[in-house]
């Protein structure tokens, strides 16, 4: 449900699990849809891959029924996302929110 004035839509869920070692482990899942201002070519794909590699969460990019791991430049370019199309960024893990926020910002400002 993105509009041209608001290119990013975010949803989040958090799951806590209790382990037998008497500690709680929290895993978060975040998802954001971004409308691209430009085609997703080599330069922004490289920026995404470098940024994605810096997080421990499992991250996925989705476009037109294709889902890829964004740590690979060719995988990101293989999505074939063009200006005006919507790309969904999804992450699950301890730094999921930060990962989705960082990758969504890169996508929203792609040139």
Domain range enclosing 22 = 8-108
In a domain, 62, yes or no: yes
Angle value at C-alpha 110, between 83 and 33, nearest 5 degrees: 70
Given the residues 38, 39, 41, 93, the one annotated as active site: 41
List the CATH number of the domain containing 59. Answer: 3.30.1340.10
In a domain, 3, yes or no: no
In a domain, 26, yes or no: yes
In a domain, 2, yes or no: no
For residues 18-33, give the mean pLDDT. Answer: 66
**Pair of tokens at residue 16:** 């806590």
Total structural domains in the chain?
A: 1
In a domain, 80, yes or no: yes
Q: What is the pTM of this model?
A: 0.77
Q: What is the DSSP string of 10-54?
A: EEEEEEEEEETTTEEEEEEEEEEEEE-SS---HHHHHHHHHHHHT
pLDDT digit string, tens, across residues 61-75: 999 999 999 999 999
How would residue 28 be classed by pLDDT, with cut points 50, 70 and 90?
Answer: confident
| 41 assigned to active site | yes
């Amino acid at each position: 449900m993105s509009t041209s004035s608001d290119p990013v839509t975010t949803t989040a869920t958090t799951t806590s699990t209790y382990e037998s070692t008497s500690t709680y482990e929290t895993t978060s899942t975040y998802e954001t849809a971004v409308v691209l201002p430009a085609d997703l070519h080599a330069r922004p794909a490289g920026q995404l891959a470098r940024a994605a590699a810096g997080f421990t969460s499992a991250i996925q990019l989705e476009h037109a029924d294709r889902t890829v791991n964004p740590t690979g430049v060719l995988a990101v370019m293989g999505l074939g996302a063009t200006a005006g199309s919507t790309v969904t960024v999804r992450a699950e893990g301890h730094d999921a929110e930060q990962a989705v926020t960082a990758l969504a910002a890169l996508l929203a400002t792609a040139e």
